[in-house]
Structure 1
Amino acid sequence: MHDAYRIIMHETGGTDVLKVEHFEPRQPGPGEALVKQAASGLNFIDTYYRTGLYPVKLPFVQGSEGAGTVEAVGEGVTNVKPGDRVAYLGSGTYATHFTGPAGLMVKLPKGISEEDGAAVLLKGLTAWMLLFEIRPVTDRDTVLIWAPVGGVGSVLTPWAASLGARVIAVTSTPEKAEKAEEFGASDTIVGYEDVAKKVRDLTGGEGVDVALDSVGKRSFEASLSSLKKRGWMISYGNASGAADPMPPGRLAAGGSLILTRPSLFSFIDTPEGMARGARHLFAAMKAGTFGADIGQRFYMKEAGKAHEALESGTTTGATVLIP
């Protein structure tokens, strides 16, 4: 495998720290599988690792999701076999080959491509967690969604709308607002000024049942102030930086609010949990509720350019890296 390579960082910083390095793919050990990758997904968390916002042990290979064809399996692996098309989660998917836990791999159903699987698995499972596992969303709910046409948002918005929820979407441009409405948003707010007031105006002063917030520092207080009494604030990202510390009394003052900061891997920490989430995700895709919505493709060796595009806010939908 002399042509195998990966994108590795030996230090944190700008996009120039992402280096191409040739390597020999590791053969799978017990419970593992080796995959020749067709695509790797790009996620905002990758930029946190690159800049050092989320510390990692260096040297570090980026990437949290991918898809491709199984080449070999280790002892005890029964859920996948060589030749299977699979999508998976794991650390180090910015590479031509990936070796990792087979328990976090799922077979791709017919009709869902490897690019689609790499683009949607982490984002789609995150949306599944937000809508079904933490505080299940129903047709009685009004939901506030930030970044409604981004990687997670492009799955979250149509999926929430398909459940009958009223979706109020907050985005940065009229073009993105138009796309959010195409995804099923009932109302859109353009810009980040006076969001809570605009939400109150749209809801007759009541506020929303659930705020799904991936923006962080810039949006945190606006999300809290948009909630009904006993509303749920689910903070799942830091696109604008980490939210400021908040005294617990703020939740009481807002009307017995509930705040949680979930991590997907707490919900898919067993093969059964992973498989259950994937079944929901792929069933919704096959039903046409949403697609992978790949807005951008970059060659893997141009991972730095992909990071720059993501951080600039110019991307829509999912971004994939192609070896």
Structure 2
Amino acid sequence: MTTARAIRLTEFGGPEVMHLDTAEVPAPAAGEVQLRQTAIGFNFIDVYQRMGRYPLPSPTGLGHEAAGVVDAVGAGVTDLKVGDRVVYMNAGVGAYAERRNVPADKLVLLPAGITDEDAAAVFFKAMTAQFLVKKTYHVQPGDIVVVHAAAGGVGQILCRWAKALGATVIGTAGSAAKCEVARAAGCDAAVDYTQADWVAQVVAATGGRKARVVYDSVAKDTFLGSLDCTAPFGMVVLFGGASGPAPLIEPELLNKKGCLFLTRPSVFPHNADTATFRANAKDVFDAMASGAVRASIGARFRLDQVADAHRMAEARANAGAIVMTP
């Protein structure tokens, strides 16, 4: 038995509801390993869960993603050993911690060329991008792709990966400065979606051609415009809601807009079994090795500064990933 600091919530609400507590961490049970975490990733789902929008039991921890070193191995674990560097993104909430026990089948060995910090910054986001560009809609050479929130952690990865797959990529972001970040992430053009004519600007950027797929993680502020950016028989992929839930629509609207396809996928079902999860992770690591995926870290915080990290994310004041250190 050892002790470790971890973020705990006893109620849901603003950033102030997160508290740094010390708790005992038992020896790992059968099928588990104990991790000494070295870098913790932030994802916007953490905000939703802290607010109570995505229900969790109370009290609860927070966080889905971290990298670290195996310090102890439970009975029956044969594919990991003490000292292994690993990363995870779906081992149950509780990643905001110095140390924790994790099911071994939720872990992936880190290649030597990827640092712990880069892994924590990119893994969840890159696994999200992987199922978006390879499974939800398989981006092909010549496709026109629109990526909202293109300056964010997932957005930058999506833009680079879609570009590497041969697409023309139009990014949108919430300010001129963020549009510059989107262009640096590989976008052929970037448009400020706070401008009233942003849809017309997106379509004009491709010479009047609309997108085969629009990846929308902003929702409330962009969703109806996303429908207008999509070519007939194209797909709108709604995978988040940074500005709030998407407006409700009648299904007939999809017909009127060009027989569009609309989907609301999630990263976890796409990685539900261990073999698929590790195969998708290898795809991510290969993309990192090729340069198609890069860890773009926009801000770093200590674990005791977690409230500041959440405030920055909610204000959409960051460009790139947020990483926390225990």
Question: Shared topology, TM-score over 0.5?
Answer: yes
SS in 2 for 1:152: helix
1:163 aligned onto 2:165: yes
The alpha-carbon deviation at position 122 of structure 1 amounts to 0.5
CA distance in 2, matches of 1:76, 1:242: 43
Residue in structure 2 matched with residue 184 of structure 1 by the alignment: 186
Q: Percent identity?
A: 39
Matches within 5 A, 1:25-104: 25-89=25-89, 90=91, 91-104=93-106
1:116 to 115, 118, 132: 118
CA distance in 2, matches of 1:288, 1:255: 36
| Cα offsets for 1:192-248 (capped at 9, x unmatched) | 322222222223333111000010111110111110000110000110011122211
SS in 1 for 2:213: strand
In structure 2, runs of 5+ residues without a counterpart are: none
How many corresponding residue pairs? 323
CA distance in 1, matches of 2:243, 2:274: 33
1:134 aligned onto 2:136: yes
Amino acid at match of 2:37: Q
Residue in structure 1 matched with residue 269 of structure 2 by the alignment: 266
Conservation of the 8 A alpha-carbon contact between 2:146 and 2:170 = yes
CA distance in 2, matches of 1:282, 1:149: 21
CA distance in 2, matches of 1:211, 1:84: 39
1:231 aligned onto 2:237: no
SS in 2 for 1:72: strand
SS in 2 for 1:176: helix
Residue in structure 1 matched with residue 218 of structure 2 by the alignment: 215
The alpha-carbon deviation at position 78 of structure 1 amounts to 2.5
Conservation of the 8 A alpha-carbon contact between 1:70 and 1:86 = yes
TM-score (normalised: structure 1): 0.97
CA distance in 1, matches of 2:262, 2:179: 27
Amino acid at match of 2:319: T
CA distance in 2, matches of 1:155, 1:21: 34
Residue in structure 2 matched with residue 15 of structure 1 by the alignment: 15
CA distance in 1, matches of 2:192, 2:68: 38
| Cα offsets for 1:76-101 (capped at 9, x unmatched) | 32332211000012221000012122
| Cα offsets for 1:113-155 (capped at 9, x unmatched) | 1111111111000000100011100112000001112111121
Conservation of the 8 A alpha-carbon contact between 1:148 and 1:180 = yes
2:286 to 283, 287, 291: 283
Amino acid at match of 1:114: D
CA distance in 2, matches of 1:247, 1:148: 28
Conservation of the 8 A alpha-carbon contact between 1:2 and 1:22 = no
Conservation of the 8 A alpha-carbon contact between 1:172 and 1:191 = yes
Residue in structure 1 matched with residue 301 of structure 2 by the alignment: 298
CA distance in 2, matches of 1:67, 1:200: 40
The alpha-carbon deviation at position 2 of structure 1 amounts to 5.8
RMSD over aligned CA atoms reads: 1.3
TM-score (normalised: structure 2): 0.96
The alpha-carbon deviation at position 290 of structure 1 amounts to 3.0
CA distance in 2, matches of 1:154, 1:197: 22
SS in 2 for 1:301: helix
Conservation of the 8 A alpha-carbon contact between 1:79 and 1:103 = no
SS in 2 for 1:228: strand
CA distance in 2, matches of 1:301, 1:112: 26
In structure 1, runs of 5+ residues without a counterpart are: none
SS in 1 for 2:53: coil
Greater alpha carbon shift after TM alignment, 277-286 vs 72-81: 72-81
The alpha-carbon deviation at position 3 of structure 1 amounts to 5.2
The alpha-carbon deviation at position 294 of structure 1 amounts to 1.2
